[in-house]
A and B are shown apart, each in its own frame.
Chain A
Amino acid sequence: MNTDEYLNKIIESVIDQDEAMVGKSVEEALNADIDPMVIINDGLTESLKKVGDLFAEEILFLPELIGCGEIVTNVMKKIEDKLKGDDSITKKGLMLIATVKGDVHDIGKNLVVLLMGASGYDVVDLGKDVPANTIVEKINELNPDIVALSALLSTTMPGQKNTIQAIEEAGIRKKIKIMVGGAPVTRAWAEEIGADGYAEDASTAVVEADRIMGIS
């Protein structure tokens, strides 16, 4: 088999949600001396892009998106454990994510955490109902590349604006990219409050994060 065939087998078994087969295909690819980063980027992460496309087309549905995300997370972890200490694994970046103050909804945010983690990002999840000053402190402490802010209610959307203002006032706005999302959030709102990115759902959040990070 050539590289593409190994990768296609990984992609197909993720879409089939066959975790054992994903593990086996990855194993085979590693044994065939395919670069682990190629397996991660062009196999596992690519499979989730395909799953995201199928989700957008309503061929796959939310439980399947979650299932695929969990499978890739598990397999990715196995590869990382195996190659521990090997500097051949590089992450796309660090994302800090939170549901803003006043909002305790976190189902959508948790999905973003799952899919970003499965797509090659390190993710630190600050949880829900997170005040702006906590987010500012964590940015100073962890130096993330992206800060993602979730709000599910029209009444808590202003929390995204307030958080961005707090980040600006702390003088650290230029160090990071900011993404916003949540059911009532629109691209127009994202632009109005000065965010760099906006995503409609968890699988497009990955695409948008890549875009604002300049990763094609």
Chain B
Amino acid sequence: MYIVGELINASRKSIGEAIKAKDVMAVQKIAKAQEEAGADYIDVNAGIFVGKEPEYLKWLVKTVQEAVDLPCTLDSPDPKAIEAALDVHKGTPMINSISLEKERYDGLMPILIGSDLKVVALCMSDEGMPETMDDRMKIADFLVNALVKNGVKTENIFVDPLVQPLSVNNSFGMEFINTVEKIHSTFKDIHTICGLSNISYGLPNRQFLNQTFMSMAISKGLDGAIMNPLDKRMMASIIAAEALAGHDRYCMKFLKAHRKGIFII
């Protein structure tokens, strides 16, 4: 399971302020905490700073990678911001995200062509948000084929089928889950990823819905999550779900986590 730590996002108030003040300590502290909690990538987002996003994103990458030994997820639709961040990034980052929205697609594809970059392919287009599995598969098919044709390896693509809130339509949960399954059966070696908490928007007891939904998705092949790795219950239930889904040989990770006290919450 690829865990992308989502906490360094400028739309969160404390982070926005830390970025503006170029508060190295504050940003590095959150990066380290996410690394220790098991993140594989550190997402960096400076999206609220119109006009200054390239400068700030570059600063975030440098600051984060001084503190942790992890690649970043460069979270921006703006090719200028991505290019600025790529200038200083060590290792292979993940681009978050390309989609079928024309401006985003045209802007980011040239950066991805023939590269080894990891990329999130978000199932969204100018037509709007997909509701059914078929809507999602149409976009996924187009994006994956276009990326592969442009020399991006399938194993570097993380399709995000787009989670929509259950509170608005009670089929949105299963449409997502079925898409995850379909993507893995259609494209060999591909990954799926999502920001999952949107499923419980507008409902109480969100952690129960989020955890259960994560387990359901993992059972159908979901192998990436953009999430708060400091959420101990979620991290523990991911480990349990991975073992149950047969992705954990001899239940080794589950048992290691047991000995590390991960399940004492």
| Residues in chain A within 8 A of chain B (CB atoms) | 58, 61-63, 66, 102, 104-107, 128-129, 154-155, 158, 184
* Chain A residues with CB under 8 A of B203: 61-63
Are the C-beta atoms of A129 and B126 separated by less than 8 Å?
Answer: yes
Is B264 an interface residue when CB atoms closer than 8 A count as contact? Answer: no
Once bound together, how far apart are the Cα atoms of A8 and B125, in whole Å?
A: 46
Once bound together, how far apart are the Cα atoms of A56 and B103, in whole Å?
A: 37
**B128: nearest residue on chain A (CB-CB)?**
A104
- The answer to whether A62 and B201 touch (CB under 8 A), given A104-B101, A129-B126, A184-B11, is yes
Hey, what's the 0/1 contact readout for B60-94 against A, CB within 8 Å counting as 1? 00000000000000000100000000000000000
Candidates A58, A62, A106, A158; contact of B128 at CB < 8 Å = A106
SS of A interface (majority): loop
| Residues in chain B within 8 A of chain A (CB atoms) | 11, 47-48, 50, 77, 101, 103, 124-129, 164-165, 167-168, 170, 201-204
* Chain B residues with CB under 8 A of A128: 128
**Distance of A187 from chain B, by nearest CB (Å):** 16
SS of B interface (majority): loop
**Most chain-B CB neighbours within 10 Å: which of A58, A104, A184?**
A104
Are the C-beta atoms of B168 and A107 separated by less than 8 Å?
Answer: yes
Are the C-beta atoms of A107 and B165 separated by less than 8 Å?
Answer: yes
Are the C-beta atoms of A62 and B167 separated by less than 8 Å?
Answer: yes
Are the C-beta atoms of B202 and A104 separated by less than 8 Å?
Answer: no
Are the C-beta atoms of A154 and B11 separated by less than 8 Å?
Answer: yes
**Distance of B168 from chain A, by nearest CB (Å):** 5
* Chain A residues with CB under 8 A of B128: 104, 106, 128-129
* Chain B residues with CB under 8 A of A102: 103
- The answer to whether A66 and B168 touch (CB under 8 A), given A104-B124, A104-B128, A129-B126, is yes
* Chain A residues with CB under 8 A of B170: 63
For the complex of A and B, 9 pairs with smallest distance between CB atoms: A62-B202, A62-B167, A104-B128, A154-B48, A63-B167, A107-B168, A61-B203, A154-B47, A128-B128
